[in-house]
Amino acid sequence: MNKSIITNSSEEFIWATISRSNPVKHNSAFEFQVEFPHNGKNSKNWICKLKPGLILSLNDVTYMEDVVNHVETKEDCLKFAYFLSGKGNVNYNFLDTQLKRDFDEELVHHSYVYFSPEIEGKIRFKAGSHLQQFSIHISPSVLLNYFNGQFDIGPFVLREILAGSDQTSFFHTDRISNSMRVAIDQILNCPYSGAMRQLFIESKTMELITYKMDQIIQAKPVRNHAPRLKKEDYGRIKKAAGILINNLENPPGLFDLAKNVGTTHTRLNIGFRQIYGTTAFGYLRQVRLEKARQLLEKDGLNVTQAAYEVGYNSIPSFSKAFSVYFGINPTKYKKRLF
């Protein structure tokens, strides 16, 4: 069976892939038990909206025939997924990379986390497969709030996402640890009800995220197997970097930048990753923030002046990005200089 899933937000995507219909059992003010009416049996699907920007879901179903979902969605959340069983494969095109995995070979008993503001591709489930996947969908701003607005460890691309970047994607996978299994089991078999239930599930959710974040932080850098850039491509990337440096206050959009140097936005980001370790606008963010720090430290500008000088029109956005990148609020950083 083939099905197209076209959505415009993470929450829409959750409902489209988990419920496939209106909720049939409303357990409380914040969670739903849902059925899977098409081509499945023994459904135990579940959605729990802990707060805006933080939703849990459980997809637990046995497929009676091969199912192929063609997916096209805009995402606004990081997805932490814990793949417990099932057979199939996924082939997703992210903003600047591709996710291609076989469930039955690589991702069974794995946890993974990904983010991409745009996703297009397909996911296939095999007949007779018992799919069991527990997922946490959390917006970057909500996750950053749990870090008190600062996150200065782990891959820079993840810090970019927490700071609000919608021009990059991220993917990480590793084995599900025993601690993760225990936390998942405690969430799915919570002994409490009412407000106590919500408090318990939220605390265990953050515990589960903590275990995954620790895996990400401890992970060894993945060797880049992308083909070497041709000389002309290298020149295009360097030219694009120069355009960004010279236009910090009013940089061109990603598509215009790619067109200006004679390439596509995907190849542009791939090239930036190979040369600079981040996307084109990740690079722009780094240059802006490094320049802002210089303006605060050596040129004596105040926070507002430095923010406007490097192209930030919102002081809160600048402070957030600066805090995530340097691990300190720009106002506090300025005070430390004197």
Question: Looking at 100-104, 280-284, 288-292, which range is the least confident one?
Answer: 100-104
For the packed helices 280-297 and 254-261, what is the interaxial angle rounded to 10 degrees?
Answer: 100
Q: Could you tell me which residues are beta bridge partners of residue 100?
A: 91
Note the pLDDT of residue 184: 95
Q: What is the CATH number of the domain that holds 324?
A: 1.10.10.60
1: amino acid identity, one letter: M
Note the pLDDT of residue 7: 87
Question: Does residue 20 fall inside a structural domain?
Answer: yes
In this prediction the pTM is: 0.72
Residues 53, 181 within the same domain: yes
pLDDT at 219 over 90: no
CA end-to-end distance (rounded Å), the chain: 67
| pLDDT tens profile 60-99 | 888 888 888 899 888 889 999 998 888 878 888 887 677 7
* Structural domains in the chain (count): 2
Residues 64, 212 within the same domain: yes
The pLDDT confidence band at residue 23, using thresholds 50, 70 and 90, is: very low
Residues 275, 133 within the same domain: no
Question: Does residue 282 fall inside a structural domain?
Answer: yes
Percent of the chain scored above 90 by pLDDT? Answer: 29
Percent of the chain scored above 70 by pLDDT? Answer: 88
pLDDT at 28 over 80: no
Name the nearest CA neighbour of 135 among 15, 9, 8: 15
Q: What is the mean pLDDT of residues 219-224?
A: 56
**Count of C-beta atoms within a 10 Å radius of residue 285:** 25
Residues 122, 41 within the same domain: yes
Among 218, 240, 270, give the residue marking a domain's end.
218
Residues 212, 308 within the same domain: no
| pLDDT tens profile 129-169 | 888 899 999 999 999 999 887 777 777 778 888 888 777 78
The pLDDT confidence band at residue 244, using thresholds 50, 70 and 90, is: very high
Note the pLDDT of residue 77: 93
Q: What is the mean pLDDT of residues 238-255?
A: 90
Question: Does residue 170 fall inside a structural domain?
Answer: no
Residues 281, 189 within the same domain: no
Question: Does residue 149 fall inside a structural domain?
Answer: no
3-state secondary structure 170-191: EEEEEECCHHHHHHHHHHHCCC
In whole angstroms, how far apart are CA 158 and each of 39, 152, 204, 220, 232?
37, 10, 22, 15, 30
Note the pLDDT of residue 107: 58
Residues 134, 186 within the same domain: yes
pLDDT at 330 over 70: yes
Q: Which domain holds residue 307?
A: 231-336
- Average predicted confidence (pLDDT) for the chain: 83
Note the pLDDT of residue 206: 96
Note the pLDDT of residue 298: 84
Note the pLDDT of residue 190: 92
2-8 long-range contacts (CB < 8 A, ≥24 apart) are 2/68, 2/70, 3/38, 3/67, 3/68, 3/69, 3/70, 4/69, 4/70, 4/72, 5/69, 5/70, 5/71, 5/72, 5/73, 6/72, 6/73, 7/72, 7/73, 7/74, 8/73, 8/74
pLDDT at 41 over 80: no
Query: 3 — alpha (psi -120 to 50), left (phi > 0) or beta?
Result: beta
Residues 108, 134 within the same domain: yes
DSSP label at residue 299? S
E strand spans, 104-262: 110-115, 118-125, 130-138, 170-175
Residues 270, 296 within the same domain: yes
**Residues 6+ away with beta carbon under 8 Å from 59:** 17, 18, 45, 131, 132, 133, 135
Residues 205, 69 within the same domain: yes
The pLDDT confidence band at residue 246, using thresholds 50, 70 and 90, is: very high
Q: What is the mean pLDDT of residues 208-225?
A: 77
Question: Does residue 159 fall inside a structural domain?
Answer: no
Q: Could you tell me which residues are beta bridge partners of residue 140?
A: none
Note the pLDDT of residue 24: 45
Question: Does residue 153 fall inside a structural domain?
Answer: no
Among 195, 218, 241, give the residue marking a domain's end.
218
Q: What is the CATH number of the domain that holds 27?
A: 2.60.120.10
| pLDDT tens profile 262-285 | 988 878 888 888 888 788 888 888
Note the pLDDT of residue 224: 46
Q: What is the CA radius of gyration of the chain?
A: 22
Q: What is the mean pLDDT of residues 43-50?
A: 84
Residues 214, 237 within the same domain: no
Where do we find the tokens 């106002």? 331
Question: Does residue 114 fall inside a structural domain?
Answer: yes
Range 39-53 burial, b when 16+ CB lie within 10 A, else e: bbeebebbbbbbeeb
Question: Does residue 144 fall inside a structural domain?
Answer: no
Residues 242, 310 within the same domain: yes
Question: Looking at 36-50, 163-177, 220-234, which range is the least confident one?
Answer: 220-234
The pLDDT confidence band at residue 231, using thresholds 50, 70 and 90, is: confident
